[in-house]
A and B are shown apart, each in its own frame.
Chain A
Amino acid sequence: MSATATGIFHDSYASELRLCHTRAEKRRLVLTLALLSALPWALDGYWLGVVNGIGIAAIGAVGLNLLCGFSGQISLGHAGFMAVGAFTSALLSTRLGLPAPLGIGAAVLLSAALGALVGLPALRVEGVYLAIATLASQQIIEFIVCRWSWLTQGRGFLDVPRLGFLGDHVSRLTFERSWYWLILGVATLALLGARNLLRSALGRSLMAVRDHDVAAATIGIDVARAKLTAFALSSGYAGLAGALCAQYSEIVSWERFTLDVSVQYLGMIIVGGLGSLAGSVYGAVFIGLLPPLLSELATLASSGGSSWTAQLPALQLGAFGAAIVLFLLFEPRGLARLWQRALDYFGSWPFRY
């Protein structure tokens, strides 16, 4: 066993700005990339579909974590902004015939603008009151996309044409795989963007506001601007996730963006780890895998004769609740912290520390 480094020391600005600081981090990054590239060949279409769902959720969770974990604001309206993104991207590509990437870009901008607007109450209220204000935004957006018949021309849903890759029609055999690469690429960019943002002055100001807004104001941070930026950023990420979701599932309807989904995203960042980008991804993986794995387990258990599948929805809800409660009790900093602790444990093994 090699000696454990006692700390990370930088002798240049360039070294401080590197994405990976230690050799182990680099090795893990390479390994993760290798695993991610192998995934489409290791999994069948169904499981790849689950992974694609997780990828989209991870983008949304990163957005929510920027707001809740890094800026100390709370939002129960995340799914509402996803709806804005989904409907905007679908409308732009079907009615105006805009290419999908442009439609998605516009969806991100519009959701971000709307997010900043909804963030206005955050200048005056915080905590539970802010939660209620964002809850109201969720309900209002849900109401509008559900009832405004112009959006869907009275049909209740919007069709999105299947995305072609380089002019090719994607068949069902390659559909999930093509989307996997697309989502992986976008999610990686989104993560890198967030990571870089957090190292910038803006990112630091968000965290300063989270830790103590009065202190932040006294050192010259514009608290109002920081809070609104946090809301805009978070909603922009939500809009991106929503737009991807629309293009991927080829249909947009309000049913996919209800309050339950907002709560699920909060669950993701709590389980994954508030204030950790990697945690957002872990949380998305955890919450995304929970229902299909439970359903497989229930099917396995039911083949013995008992009927677990009938109780499945209750089981899934129960497991979701139990996961959140257990994490809050035993590891409030989530899976990201658990992973860090595991690394530390093995790093100094056989010594305690």
Chain B
Amino acid sequence: MTHHRTLHLPIALSALAALLCACTPQRNEHDIVIGVLADLTGPTADVGRPYHEGMLAAIDDLNAHGGIRRRHIQALSEDYGYKVPTAEEKYKKYVQASVVAVQGWGTGDSEALRRKVAGDELPFMSASYAEVLTDPEQSPYNFVVAATYSDQMRIALDQIAAADPQAQVAVFHHDSPFGNAPIADGKQWIASRGYQLGYQEYAMKAGATDYVASLQRAQQQGARYLIVQNVASPAATLARDIAAQKLGMKIVCLNWCSDELFVQLAGPAAEGTWMVQPFAPPSVPQPGHEPLKQYCAAKGIDFESAGVHFVQGWYTLQVMAGGLAKLLADGRELSGKNLRGALETMGPVDTGGVIGPIRFSAASHRGATAAGVYVVEHGKLVERARALTPRS
């Protein structure tokens, strides 16, 4: 037995440690650091990319205008491919980098990180509008900027009940926590409002190339209306299948397929689709679109094709920036706990009509309850009703 054989493990480990140290990013102490989790390559990447770009654009724009009280925002952004364990891994990295807040993405990761951000006292916003995230009792550090999926579902059901009180409704949803989020609340809404609507759910398997079999079952149910809680690409496949089979069902998209991408992918099959969308799309101009238009013009981006999710990312970040501005204006220390307090007390955030005023309080982290309803006409999103809330 020799002495030197025992040396290889420590040498290898110290080499590894040296490599890891070299990888730690450098940053300016004065910057406000936030972590961003994005889906750029996973199953929701089609809408995840524009949302992420909108968020980074808002940061870029804020920094170009001097930052928040002369402090720049630095975003640490990583793709997590819609995988919850990867999101947790990236989140730990952000905690290590001493971020003051995190911008997440999906329902799965927002729910999984809910308790972690509460334990670590880091405010968390995401593009998930699941009901559980609005309750400070259950999710003390999560903030939801738009009408929840459940509220969107209620608005959709209100619309359907007004148009056809006896209709059968089929809910087609992403097979994940995101897709399941509004299902039970929709059923309860029908019962509590005394609607005569039929209601059945159908899970859409990820990566399916057609949904003919599920549609057959929906046809047997006698479904006239299909509420879709999924992202644009599978929803477009669904629309094409309906058109090809001449089933004559009307699609009602919630938030994540209510966009230009769906219209583009579904083509003529998208005509007449209803869309419940909390954020005003570029095709329905609002005063709040102006700063985005200016930014896009300066950067050579086509605002119309950047789409509604770009707007969504932009304004979600603006809300968090509002909290940061209040925190720094009050002269308090920059910490997650103080930011949470600032978000709860900053008063309504005006988005220039893009989305109704967003307001949080210590009792509720439900930023808004209203969503617009749009209809697809000649390949464009046309406003059908503005700022609807579930009927009380």
Known contacts A292-B89, A313-B81; decide if A157 and B112 are in contact (CB<8 Å): yes
**Number of residues in B with C-beta < 8 Å to the partner?**
45
A5 beta carbon closer than 8 Å to chain B: yes
Shortest beta-carbon distance from B254 to chain A in Å: 17
Shortest beta-carbon distance from A242 to chain B in Å: 13
CA of A1 to CA of B1, assembled, Å: 8
A346 near B5: Cβ-Cβ < 8 Å: yes
Known contacts A22-B1, A249-B88; decide if A155 and B132 are in contact (CB<8 Å): yes
Shortest beta-carbon distance from B40 to chain A in Å: 7
CA of A203 to CA of B85, assembled, Å: 34
**Number of residues in A with C-beta < 8 Å to the partner?**
55
Digit string of B64-106 for contact with A (CB within 8 Å is 1, else 0)? Answer: 0000000000000011010111101100110110000000000
A49 near B180: Cβ-Cβ < 8 Å: no
A255 near B84: Cβ-Cβ < 8 Å: yes
Residue of A whose beta carbon sits closest to that of B84:
A255
A251 near B112: Cβ-Cβ < 8 Å: yes
A225 beta carbon closer than 8 Å to chain B: no
Residue of B whose beta carbon sits closest to that of A349:
B2
Known contacts A2-B2, A44-B96; decide if A256 and B119 are in contact (CB<8 Å): no
Chain A residues within an 8 Å CB radius of B115: 159-160, 162, 250-251
CA of A200 to CA of B315, assembled, Å: 65
B84 near A4: Cβ-Cβ < 8 Å: no
CA of A303 to CA of B86, assembled, Å: 21
CA of A127 to CA of B178, assembled, Å: 38
B5 near A253: Cβ-Cβ < 8 Å: no
Chain A residues within an 8 Å CB radius of B10: 31, 35
A42 beta carbon closer than 8 Å to chain B: yes
A253 near B177: Cβ-Cβ < 8 Å: yes
Cross-chain contact of A253 among B2, B111, B121 (Cβ < 8 A): B111
A47 beta carbon closer than 8 Å to chain B: yes
Cross-chain contact of A157 among B23, B42, B111 (Cβ < 8 A): B111
Say what secondary structure dominates the interface of chain B.
helix
A341 beta carbon closer than 8 Å to chain B: no
Cross-chain contact of A50 among B1, B5, B17, B89 (Cβ < 8 A): B89
Shortest beta-carbon distance from A96 to chain B in Å: 20
Chain A residues within an 8 Å CB radius of B177: 156-157, 253, 255
Chain B residues within an 8 Å CB radius of A300: 23
Chain B residues within an 8 Å CB radius of A43: 17, 20
Most A Cβ at <10 Å: residue of B4, B8, B19, B96: B96
Known contacts A49-B89, A162-B119; decide if A251 and B5 are in contact (CB<8 Å): no
B114 beta carbon closer than 8 Å to chain A: yes
Chain A residues within an 8 Å CB radius of B111: 156-157, 251, 253
Residue of A whose beta carbon sits closest to that of B131:
A155
B108 beta carbon closer than 8 Å to chain A: yes
Beta-carbon contacts under 8 Å, A260-308 to B: 291-292, 295-296, 299-300
B120 beta carbon closer than 8 Å to chain A: yes
CA of A98 to CA of B76, assembled, Å: 40
Shortest beta-carbon distance from A39 to chain B in Å: 9
Cross-chain contact of A309 among B79, B96, B112 (Cβ < 8 A): B79
Shortest beta-carbon distance from B10 to chain A in Å: 7
Shortest beta-carbon distance from A286 to chain B in Å: 13
The 8 listed contacts between A and B (C-beta, < 8 Å) are A49-B89, A50-B89, A154-B184, A156-B111, A157-B177, A162-B119, A253-B111, A313-B79
**Given A24-B5, A49-B92, A347-B2, 4 new contacts (CB under 8 A):** A154-B184, A156-B177, A253-B108, A292-B89
The 6 closest A-B pairs by CB, nearest first: A24-B1, A172-B120, A49-B92, A46-B96, A156-B177, A346-B5
B contacts, CB < 8 Å to A: 1-2, 4-6, 8-10, 13, 17, 19-20, 23-24, 40-42, 78-79, 81, 83-86, 88-89, 92-93, 95-96, 108, 111-112, 114-116, 119-121, 132, 176-177, 180-181, 184
